[in-house]
Structure 1
């Protein structure tokens, strides 16, 4: 007989932790499956920093917050600015222990439905049956890559989430495609590890480096909690205005602590440019830019972000044909439920219907509250 649970949470990242904990807090029998914080541990550099502060946390109940973790450990947020990713990972483990989340570290290889509900097949062949499923697929499934990506030999290319160790880049010439935080932070990390030269190529103007406040997001998350379906009820013009505000603060303004780590002698920005041609020789690559210049590189890093495409999530292959999808995003109800009754989705995949802030950890506790409240209706 398969194991049975009321709710199966597929994933073990921030959104999954938040949802599983809030479900448990509300008396729902919950099983959580996945490798703990796997993307954060294996596909983010260990010496990177958070852009957010200690006010962003995971607890929908508001008890085991990031600030509570600081207090418990006798640390002060002002002494860790910016916050190292290692501190956030310590917080997630503390959160899991405090919430008594028993994580099943097997992976789901397939999800189907039956008269008994959802049936998840695990990587060891075992099955778990659940009345409801909340999937929190991480952005690792959704790499956004330009058409010419395949022209670069595999040994000479990486997406940022694939490049987390920089020791082998001492003396290397690297071209980074993209101009947001990850592009310039990876440039800084390459400089930290003695890269010879780093060119950063992006279509938009060079971003400014300045301290910004993310406090503007709070009101939007509060509105989402207060008014079911708030984001979708906004006019297109209002949605665009909020997205532009988010873009300005989160995308076109980068952290000032990067500046001393990206010296002009090593890092060159190429704003307003795109790659129009590539040439591969025995030893290096030549990228021709739209401004007529050419760059020679040993390696190309794609800091090109992520684009939703639910069909890329392997474990959803058995049910994705029953989920209404628009431009790669699932169509969600006001409670984060897909068109397949009982299947919920949170995180990056929910941003089309809930706003751009739900692709960041800021949205974790509110997404948990929205989804679990819907399940209990």
Structure 2
């Protein structure tokens, strides 16, 4: 019996990779809850910052773009840079993509991946099933990677929680629970600013606390016209990072990590400005020095831009502080595998075709950003990653 490839994760990168592997006639088993992060860990009413061009999931054949889904679903076509995508529409698109191209998805959790005595890997499922796999693709998205700065952790002794004093932005789907409450949102990126705007619209009194100036991108009609287009805007650097990520992994490590984090970094979408300004207070600070919640009510201690120390009380604090890749947090990878993985600042070092230092073990999506650039933080990265990963897998394990 031919051993299958195991794909762990059913978000855009997992579904795209699985569709490409299936199209090459290779047995594949795909595990996860389709689009779970988008459906359960994004706030209701959220709009995507990315344009339609940056929001199509890479497929091995035509007919499965976001515009194709809109046509099939009978909803207005989303195609231009001025079209804004509701998260509910994008989630439905991903679920449609799954039904069309990965219909045999298994909605079961992978609990461990280890080496198989006969070569390859041994995968254990939550159901108790054990099976051998010739290769494993890790495409678990943002799951388990939410980042809570240590300065805020002291006020969340049992970890961030929606019902505790401090939470992470990924833990909120319904922001109406904060109606009438004093809410602090820590961060300056799209997640922070949109969470703040949605909470204010739900009736909360919201203050954004940020270490950098809060800003918003330029609308499409103000983008420079004499530069090449990319899914992220018109600029030579964005064009190169979007279409030619191949050389990225040869850059010095500090440069790769810096660019993966900072390119298209903290900035609100152009369409969010009118919903934010005048509705949300902004406190620009030098840094958060600490947090406490002795009676269950959080208080931030901050250093202001003038060097003074201030205390900011609230009913709840949301940390919109992003995600950090950490191989150590991927508990389903057995110790034997993790100990053999070459890593850089917690992220796997990937070679050609997205393969790790453990032959047959591949990573795609956010964990690949430090090796292939910031395009891997966005859905459109599937169009680059999936065919190249599949090509390498076929050559090495076909």
Q: Which residue of 2 aligns with 1:313?
A: 330
Judged with a 3 Å threshold, the aligned counterparts in structure 2 of structure 1 residues 164 and 20 are, in CA distance, closer, same or farther, namely same
Q: CA deviation at 1:218?
A: 4.7
Q: Deviations over 1:79-102 (max 9, x none)?
A: 993110111111112212221431
CA deviation string 1:129-153 (max 9, x = no partner): 1111111122232122211223214
| Inter-partner Cα distance in structure 2 for 1:255 and 1:177 | 17
- Please say if 1:8 is aligned against 2:16: no
Superposed CA deviations along residues 247-268 of structure 1, whole A, max 9, x for unmatched, are 3xx334311322232253x521
Gapped regions of structure 1 (runs ≥ 5):
none
Alignment counterpart, residue 284 of structure 2, candidates 256, 266, 271: 271
Is 1:191 the equivalent of 2:205? Answer: no
State how 1:61-140 maps to structure 2 within 5 Å. Answer: 61-63=60-62, 64-74=64-74, 75-77=76-78, 81-114=83-116, 115-140=118-143
1:289 to 302, 313, 333: 302
- 1:300/1:131 Cα in 2 relative to 1: closer, same or farther (>3 Å)? same
State TM-score, norm by structure 1.
Answer: 0.89
Correspondences of 1:1-377 after superposition (within 5 Å): 5-55=3-53, 56-63=55-62, 64-74=64-74, 75-77=76-78, 81-114=83-116, 115-153=118-156, 155-195=164-204, 197-211=205-219, 214-216=232-234, 217-224=238-245, 229-234=246-251, 247=263, 250-264=264-278, 266-282=279-295, 284-291=297-304, 292-318=309-335, 319-377=337-395
Partners in 2 of 1:34 and 1:132 — Cα distance? 17
**Shift in CA distance, 96/174, structure 1 to aligned 2, threshold 3 Å:** same
Whether the 8 Å contact between 1:140 and 1:161 is mirrored in structure 2 is no
Q: Distance in 1 between matches of 2:127 and 2:314?
A: 43
Aligned residues: 366
Q: Is the 8 A contact 2:147 2:323 kept in 1?
A: yes
Per-residue deviation, 1:363: 0.5
Runs of 4+ aligned structure 1 residues displaced above 6 Å come to: 235-238
Given the superposition, is the C-alpha separation of residues 237 and 326 from structure 1 closer, same or farther in structure 2, using an over 3 Å criterion? closer
- Quote the offset at 1:125 in angstroms: 0.7
TM score, norm. by length of structure 2: 0.85
Residues 369 and 123 of structure 1, relative CA distance in 2, 3 Å threshold? same
Q: CA deviation at 1:281?
A: 4.7
Q: In structure 1, what is the equivalent of residue 229 of structure 2?
A: none
The answer to whether the 8 Å contact 2:348/2:367 transfers is yes
SS at 2:352's partner residue? coil
* Alpha-carbon contact 1:4-1:128 (below 8 Å) kept: no
Taking the aligned partners of 2:176 and 2:347, their CA distance within structure 1 comes to: 37
Contact in 2 for aligned 1:107/1:123 (Cα 8 Å): yes
Post-superposition shift, 1:360?
1.3
1:240–1:112 Cα change, 3 Å: closer
Gaps of 5+ in 2: 224-231
